[in-house]
Chains A and B, each alone.
Chain A
């Protein structure tokens, strides 16, 4: 599993940071930034939840 985060789409709701704080953070502008682009199996469920909760579709999970 690989994740990408699009700061152009991000609206800073912070849902990803609340859901998976080991994987997502907010930068000085409050926009999404990845702490881990390739999280381990233990994070999969929370990462998927975070992507589904993002109100602006800024977080994408790639299955490659």
Chain B
């Protein structure tokens, strides 16, 4: 263990776009122990960058996911996202055993078998979006017209949102993630609209149960109705922009590497290569813990960088190359440990169907701007594209 005052780096680093992650991560991985960093609000947090260390942090019971603990990293606030009170049911911010009641109730809704059964509906959704795009002309913004609506429509169907309300749902979710095209007030209003709507949906399903996720969770009774609204909001937030950004970034990468179009292994490699949720798994030590030879004191914040881990050349050969043949299943794009993404198998299917249908139905698809002109979400918590102009 080094006794010298460690060098403090500023964080977050600006994302260069594609390829992600920032080149600075490679230097961090090469350092001994962890990297002490300073957030824009002045808070100091430990960065974890090696694959093995990230997996260790995300499975250590002495390290907490609960933002109520003093010292929890507030990366969102440092990027301009206001800190909000924990809403009931927001179980990514809970540790075991409190967390497990929510997770266990939801697991049956996201099994491999259940997701497989959703395929025909997802295929219909994707086809309908492509029909609309093709009917509108010979160019589109693939983010606004395809990548964002597809997961929003899939989630609304999953939650049991009636078809008549899906446009409302989709427009509010779109506002929520448009960090450049909408104001803080508009995003706040959209979030309130959605939470109000979801609470009403829960009340309606209590009165008239149907064959859907909300009704089943109410019938099971392990999650109280007031917690259920928070759970549903979490499913929406966790499953919408992340999926959309993976779809859009994956299309760009496939257009640049056309030999992989039509190969379903591109899904797993896109997840690893872009690692859009780099800043999502935040932690705080609740006991003193040694990580990679570095003592982290109770109350110190920890940021496990999944993009850095997924580009660790000790775990992935030539990590900067987009190579779907590597079968990089051990990536941590979905996190690791008990909080690993619950909807990961749904995301995989959505991405697979989105790529397949898009290139099958529009084989002449091309970028409408030079790749260097693409506008990346340098300032968002989740990495992605503001827009993706395409033509055919």
Contacts and interface: CB of A to CB of B under 8 A. Distances in A.
Interface in B349-381: none
A49 B113 CA distance: 20
B338 interface: yes
Contacts of B335: 55
Given A29-B108, A30-B110, A53-B329, A12 B342 contact: yes
Interface in A1-46: 11-15, 17-19, 21, 26, 28-31
A11, A15, A56 interface centre (most CB from chain B within 10 Å): A11
Contacts of A52: 330
Contacts of B175: none
A26 B330 contact: no
B340 A17 contact: no
Contact of B338 (A15, A53, A56): A56
A26 B340 contact: no
B112 A17 contact: yes
A55 B340 contact: yes
Contacts of A26: 111-113
B337 A55 contact: yes
B107 interface: yes
Contacts, number: 58
A18 B345 CA distance: 9
A56 B111 contact: no
Contact of A29 (B104, B330, B336, B337): B104
Interface of B: 58-59, 103-104, 107-114, 329-330, 334-338, 340-342, 344-345
22 contacts: A11-B107, A12-B110, A12-B342, A13-B342, A14-B112, A15-B329, A18-B112, A18-B345, A21-B112, A26-B111, A26-B112, A29-B104, A29-B107, A30-B107, A30-B109, A30-B111, A55-B59, A55-B340, A56-B59, A56-B337, A56-B338, A56-B340
Top 6 A-B pairs, shortest CB-CB distance:
A12-B107, A30-B107, A55-B340, A30-B108, A26-B111, A17-B112
Given A30-B107, A55-B58, 15 more contacts: A11-B338, A12-B104, A12-B107, A12-B110, A12-B342, A13-B341, A15-B329, A18-B112, A29-B107, A30-B108, A30-B111, A55-B338, A55-B340, A56-B59, A56-B338
